[in-house]
A = this chain, B = another copy of it.
Amino acid sequence: MDSKYTFALRKIALLGGIEDYVVLSSRELGDALEMSQQSASKRILELLDEKLIIRDLGARKQRIKLTQKGIEELKQEYGEYRRIFEISDQITLHGAIADGMGEGRYYVCQMGYMAQFEEKLGFRPYEGTLNVVVDREDVSKLDIIRSAPGEAITGFTQDGRSFGGAIAHKSKIRNIECAIIIPERSHYDNVIEIVCQYHLRRTLSIGNGDRLEIKVKV
């Protein structure tokens, strides 16, 4: 993403463009970005083109609001700053165990994934995943984790079905090695999937609703 775009997005966000439309003329934006009214007008058209903002072009002044894509873009940069200034090497997530739908099991068992897990995580996962609902106050930590490099798990096609890529982040639960799997272009939610060499429910004697602390390496 071009830094010119996020720079403009940030100024709009500071004026409240994340919550709601803000009245912002191209001259005002130009002043904030230290550029001419003409260039600011052009920048706004570019941001619209990239679908980073939406606009309500009223009779007198336009009103501008960030799109979800625009907000994600800023969150990504915010995550980078948090990694620069905050991160100590690990992030601790808190959450509760949730029911899996059996989907995790299906995916993990695919050879295309299994081989990569073994190579990149250093263990062969138990054939299933543990689903954890992350506490509301820790959801923003997921953004930091998403912005960390992690281990890339590449997608593949098998029997005419395509399996998407993901990023695995090495983690520990009560000192047991595991990894949280974040699918590429997933809809951000507060449920994470965990793979581990062992059957975590049995090994840790835990079940649905039990609270858990996950230390994610970043």
Contact = CB atoms under 8 A, between A and B. Distances in A.
Interface of A: 3-4, 6-7, 10, 13-14, 18, 74-75, 77-78, 80-85, 140
Contact of A84 (B4, B74, B82, B85): B74
Nearest to A10: B80
A74 B81 contact: yes
Given A3-B4, A7-B3, A18 B84 contact: yes
Contacts of A78: 81-82, 84-85
B84 A81 contact: no
A10 B10 CA distance: 15
A165 to B, nearest CB: 20
A87 to B, nearest CB: 11
A166 to B, nearest CB: 22
Contact of A14 (B13, B18, B84): B84
Nearest to A74: B84
Contacts of A13: 84
A81 B14 CA distance: 8
Contacts of A7: 3
A83 B13 CA distance: 9
Contacts of A77: 10, 81
A80 B140 contact: no
A80 B18 CA distance: 14
Contacts of A3: 3-4, 6-7
A70 to B, nearest CB: 12
Contacts of A75: 85
20 contacts: A3-B3, A3-B4, A3-B6, A10-B77, A10-B80, A10-B81, A10-B84, A13-B84, A14-B80, A14-B83, A18-B84, A74-B84, A74-B85, A75-B85, A77-B81, A78-B81, A78-B84, A78-B85, A81-B81, A85-B140
